[in-house]
Structure 1
Amino acid sequence: MSRAPTITKGQQIIELLEAYGVDTVFGIPGVHTLELYRGLAASNIQHITPRHEQGAGFMADGYARITAKPGVCFVITGPGLTNIATAMGQALGDSIPMLVISTVNAAGTEAQGCLHAMPQQADVIRPLTVASFQLNANDSVTETLAQVFAALEARNGTQLGPVHLQIPLDVIGQLAGDETANGVKQPVKRHDQLTEECTKALNQIQNAANVINQHSQIVILAGGGAVNAQHQVKQLAKTLDAPVVTTINGRGLLANHPLSVPASPSLEATRSLLAQADCVIALGTEMGQTDYDMYVNGGFPLLKNLIRIDINPSVIQATEQLGIHCDVSQGLTRLLPLLAPKQPSTSLGEARARTTRQEAFTELPKPYQQHHSFLTAITKALPEVIIVGDSTQPAYGGNCYFDAPAAKTWFNSATGFGTLGYAVPAAIGAALGRRLQHNNQPIIALTGDGGLQFCLAELATAKDWELPIIFMVWNNQGYGEIESSMLAVGITPIGVSPKPPSIDALAQAYGINHARLTSFTALADLLQQAADNQTPMLLEINEALMMDQIEPTIPF
């Protein structure tokens, strides 16, 4: 890369981001980030302006899930960073790569009452990151960015998740000098890095094959870390005649397959399947509580001959399991040739999967069965849709049981960190990611009226870019999930009925289309009309009215 040696370090960062393949950044310009914006217009990076930094973080999250590239955000010192902290917490909980670049006031100015002053800024945000860096006056910008991207790619034994880079205000405007005149230090290609990790794990892979070949009643657990290994997971299931239980972020990996069990490991039926297995293979799942013990009853069974393949080394270090530190796709590519195919008559995998699906669905409370029918109607009407959910009741129902149409088409914030206000901005990020892939298929943001009010202003961002998002508002006049939780434990509901705004007036205010669903049978036509329009739409659904009309549909 050649350039005049008179640009600032802020401009140099833009050059480096572009060299690393960054095509989109999310941020709200401020006086403390001006030097980042000085070089942005001359680059090929598109800038997305949300209405709040938390929205920027959630957009980066949705973008990263769809593109498999880190979502990048620019935020100002102090309040910009604290505003995005919630989104970083959600990304950390779900192992989503995100780069947050912030400024910080110059050292020695702490007692001067500077604008946006925040004591120990990096220390405050560090617990929500997998790595945190500061670019100091004498640091090489090129070397620092190389370390940042190594962390984003989970090299050197780290997990995937948010990375923070902060730059003091007296450094970001310094002249860059000739440091990058000889070219950008390119990162190790991710494929080559993963190949190296899997090569180191060959002994464990062979040991895993030896264990698997000795057993017949095998069950596979597949999480979000397996979504890029759909072909290999399906081949593994067929080779072993093994049911595949998918976690929330793994849904759709085996869509409509006879070996698929799209039911939560927190359900008794799914736990029974796992308890009866003589070998369990866990792929790309941290086995966290919100997937495996959402009711916090401690009833998850002890798993026999547990084998785990995960890129995060921290989840495979327990002594009671065989851990393989490796990317799931590459690990399975090496494992599959070592396996002896099982005869279906030996373990009857499809029958075990079918029985589990039936018992799991029957176990669901009726509202969750109705939510399943509702969600299934959406995917029948729009087979290529991505559903991005908030912490709202249909999302909870779907997390318990729902077979998404494909990998990466079902994700929400009702897991891990468990935020509200996620669906709207995350759907925007997902839609922008799809558009970069020349795919303008619709995306649904499934949110409650309570969650919507956390992020109302981001509807304007969707309008800015005319994104094909259907903002589906499940309106129960407040925080319905929390109210039902209070009633379940004998607490008189209080504080759970904040009055929602007029959804049609909101749509008018933001210049987007609006529709109100009055009949469940009209859902498919409404969705198709919205998809055909290729523009944002608010679709309002009255929960009480809809639940009176939906009959549970048995999915098997």
Structure 2
Amino acid sequence: MSPSPTITKGQQIIELLEAYSVDTVFGIPGVHTLELYRGLAASNIQHITPRHEQGAGFMADGYARITAKPGVCFVITGPGLTNIATAMGQALGDSIPMLVISTVNDGSTKEQGCLHAMPRQADIIRPLTVASFQLDANDNVTHTMSQVFATLDARNGTPLGPVHLQIPLDVIGQLANDETVQMIKQPIEHQQQQTQKSADILNHIQSAAHVINQHNSIVILAGGGAVNAQDQVKQLALALDAPVVTTINGRGLMANHALSVPASPSLEATRSLLAQAHCVIALGTEMGQTDYDMYVNGNLPPLKNLIRIDISPSALQASKQFGIHCDVSQALTHLLPLLTHKLPSVSSGEARASITRQAAFTQLPKSYQQHHRFLTTIIQMLPETIIVGDSTQPVYAGNCYFEAPAAKTWFNSATGFGTLGYAVPAAIGAALGRRLEQNNEPIIALTGDGGLQFCLAELATAKDWALPIIFIVWNNQGYSEIESSMLNVGITPVGVSPKPPKIDALAKAYDIGYTYLTSFEALTSELQKAAKGQSPTLLEINEALIMAQIESITPL
């Protein structure tokens, strides 16, 4: 397909997005993005209209996590870009591929009194990206888009995260005049082949195998960068008889396996396991504070013979570690055949994992154990669900200890950038991603009454698309976690009790089903009922009533 000489560069971008298998874009049309929409209706790309650009970014985030494809957003110059910046920050912190395409006022205006004027727009947003591009008048559109998508492809050895492409208003409407879109894939495939065959990487993998084969007491740390290598991670664990500690974004990678340790590396029991290991293999984890030192006490033990595999070069710069700059799946493909299988001993991997699981659960505060019962009840009733969380108390508890049923079924914003207002729109993106795979199993959006008010208008987007999302609002009448934090350090709580809206009235306003839960026993029946509806449902939970009824927890 060759671009017609009568189409604009904006239209050509749509054609190129299709050629790169983009099937969904999120955005709010504006006068500055009209040329992106000129060719959209004739394409096979579905357009999702959120109620706020921040919602568009969070939807793109949830979509990308489920599909392993970049979430694509269209935003206007200035406020469109600043509105989506928070979502870009969360995606950057969690290494989620996202493409944000914006316009920008043309250079001749000097940004003086123009609509949506934003001086040095690219400079302002660049710190929230892994790469930023601008399509200027003399640039080749096809070449620019090939650079953009090469950056979004982990197989090219580039760190994942948001990529920004901005197009001046006097350029986006110009007539397209460069080569055919069929030419775009050849250079990218060439880059992938060169990356996969890199002699340096293969040498590093051979050296890592030599170190691993010399040790018997091994522990694996698996993060979000390993979620697309679930089978290989399991093969590695079995070959090495090694417990697998999963980070927040890695939960479910071992899904109730005897070698699984779904407990935060910030817990003392998990740290004890790591301290006793003779070799630690870290797969796709930046080893950031929100996973490894959430209590900020600096007590993570030194990790002996640490081997790290990561696509982010910055994650491999620390001393006293052996770094392999590579996608986890690619690296394990080459590493697994080089390993000598370990035979289970008295201190087998399964025994070490079991001891750690039991100790970690016992170390949880009583409230977190109760939250764990709440979360496991959801999974028991809806074993195929995905739980998308906000920064709210059951999510904090689950991040400390919780076994998700599979990879990519537990993710939230209580890590990394740590924003509020994530769960509702991210669940929408996840549901849209699942629908494209002909999967209409319900998704849980777990948010507090405080976090809901950051994004409650996006309930309308879920209704627009009749998405099977169960919105669970954990209502504790304000910012209870922050109130507790203030009290713990001797501060009189201030500003932590904003009155929530009437949730039932919100549900009625957005024309979605609603139930107010006052008993823990009712949770199971309401989840089953909501799951049959194949449309959005809102369940409000009175925290005080529910927590009082969860009286006993059975240790794992």
TM-score (norm 1): 0.98
CA-based RMSD:
1.4
Partner of 1:479: 479
Partner of 1:289: 289
The answer to whether the aligner puts 1:461 opposite 2:423 as a matched pair is no
Report SS of the residue matched to 2:107. coil
Q: Distance in 2 between matches of 1:192 and 1:184?
A: 16
Which has the higher mean CA deviation after the structures are superposed, 495-504 or 514-523?
514-523
Aligned partner letter, 1:469: I
Q: Distance in 2 between matches of 1:227 and 1:221?
A: 12
Q: Distance in 2 between matches of 1:190 and 1:251?
A: 34
The answer to whether the aligner puts 1:183 opposite 2:177 as a matched pair is no
Q: CA deviation at 1:112?
A: 3.1
Partner of 1:251: 251
Aligned partner letter, 2:112: Q
Q: CA deviation at 1:553?
A: 2.5
Counterpart contact for 2:251–2:406, Cα < 8 Å: yes
Change (3 A) 1:158 1:349: same
Report SS of the residue matched to 2:245. strand
Change (3 A) 1:105 1:336: same
Counterpart contact for 2:362–2:555, Cα < 8 Å: no
The answer to whether the aligner puts 1:4 opposite 2:4 as a matched pair is yes
Report SS of the residue matched to 2:494. coil
TM-score (norm 2): 0.98
Aligned partner letter, 2:459: L
Counterpart contact for 1:97–1:162, Cα < 8 Å: yes
Partner of 2:95: 95
Counterpart contact for 2:156–2:191, Cα < 8 Å: no
What stretches of structure 1 of length at least 5 have no aligned partner?
A: none
Q: Distance in 2 between matches of 1:287 and 1:295?
A: 14
Q: Percent identity?
A: 80
Q: CA deviation at 1:76?
A: 0.2
Partner of 1:518: 518
Q: Distance in 2 between matches of 1:269 and 1:76?
A: 49
Q: Equivalent residues in 2 for 1:248-287 (5 A)?
A: 248-287=248-287
Q: Equivalent residues in 2 for 1:102-113 (5 A)?
A: 102-113=102-113
Counterpart contact for 1:216–1:347, Cα < 8 Å: no
Q: Distance in 1 between matches of 2:284 and 2:420?
A: 25
Q: CA deviation at 1:295?
A: 0.4
Aligned partner letter, 1:167: I
The list of structure 1 runs, each at least 4 consecutive aligned residues, that deviate by more than 6 angstroms after superposition, is none
Partner of 2:492: 492
Counterpart contact for 1:14–1:36, Cα < 8 Å: yes
Q: Distance in 1 between matches of 2:193 and 2:98?
A: 19
Q: Distance in 2 between matches of 1:189 and 1:531?
A: 42
Q: CA deviation at 1:154?
A: 4.4
What stretches of structure 2 of length at least 5 have no aligned partner?
A: none
Partner of 1:355: 355
Q: CA deviation at 1:184?
A: 3.7
Counterpart contact for 2:3–2:176, Cα < 8 Å: no
Q: Distance in 1 between matches of 2:195 and 2:234?
A: 21
Deviations 1:162-198 (A, max 9, x none): 0000000000011112x13473411524994586166
The answer to whether the aligner puts 1:41 opposite 2:41 as a matched pair is yes
Counterpart contact for 1:219–1:281, Cα < 8 Å: yes
Q: Distance in 2 between matches of 1:416 and 1:552?
A: 32
Partner of 1:547: 547
Deviations 1:419-469 (A, max 9, x none): 000000000000000000000000000000000000010000000000000
Counterpart contact for 1:198–1:325, Cα < 8 Å: no
Counterpart contact for 1:447–1:472, Cα < 8 Å: yes
Deviations 1:141-161 (A, max 9, x none): 011101111111147653100
Counterpart contact for 2:388–2:444, Cα < 8 Å: yes
Counterpart contact for 1:35–1:173, Cα < 8 Å: yes
Q: CA deviation at 1:108?
A: 2.5
Counterpart contact for 1:263–1:400, Cα < 8 Å: yes
Report SS of the residue matched to 1:446. strand
Between the two proteins, the alignment pairs up a number of residues equal to 555
Report SS of the residue matched to 2:377. helix
Partner of 1:51: 51
Deviations 1:463-522 (A, max 9, x none): 000000000000000011111100111111110001101111000000000011121112
Report SS of the residue matched to 2:397. helix
Report SS of the residue matched to 2:532. helix
Q: Distance in 2 between matches of 1:117 and 1:350?
A: 60
Partner of 1:535: 535
Partner of 1:28: 28
Q: Distance in 1 between matches of 2:259 and 2:169?
A: 56
Q: Distance in 1 between matches of 2:379 and 2:552?
A: 16
Q: Distance in 1 between matches of 2:296 and 2:225?
A: 24
Q: Distance in 2 between matches of 1:441 and 1:204?
A: 42
Aligned partner letter, 1:374: F
Which has the higher mean CA deviation after the structures are superposed, 332-341 or 490-499?
332-341
Counterpart contact for 1:375–1:398, Cα < 8 Å: yes
Q: Equivalent residues in 2 for 1:443-458 (5 A)?
A: 443-458=443-458
Q: Equivalent residues in 2 for 1:379-418 (5 A)?
A: 379-418=379-418
The answer to whether the aligner puts 1:325 opposite 2:337 as a matched pair is no
Deviations 1:348-383 (A, max 9, x none): 111111111111011110111111110000000000
Partner of 2:119: 119
Report SS of the residue matched to 1:252. coil
Q: CA deviation at 1:403?
A: 0.3
Counterpart contact for 2:157–2:195, Cα < 8 Å: no
Change (3 A) 1:193 1:462: farther
Change (3 A) 1:140 1:552: farther
Partner of 1:301: 301
Q: Distance in 2 between matches of 1:491 and 1:112?
A: 46
Counterpart contact for 2:77–2:116, Cα < 8 Å: yes
Partner of 2:168: 168
Deviations 1:291-336 (A, max 9, x none): 0000000001000000111121221233311111111112112111
Aligned partner letter, 2:161: G
Counterpart contact for 1:423–1:447, Cα < 8 Å: yes
Q: Distance in 1 between matches of 2:431 and 2:489?
A: 40
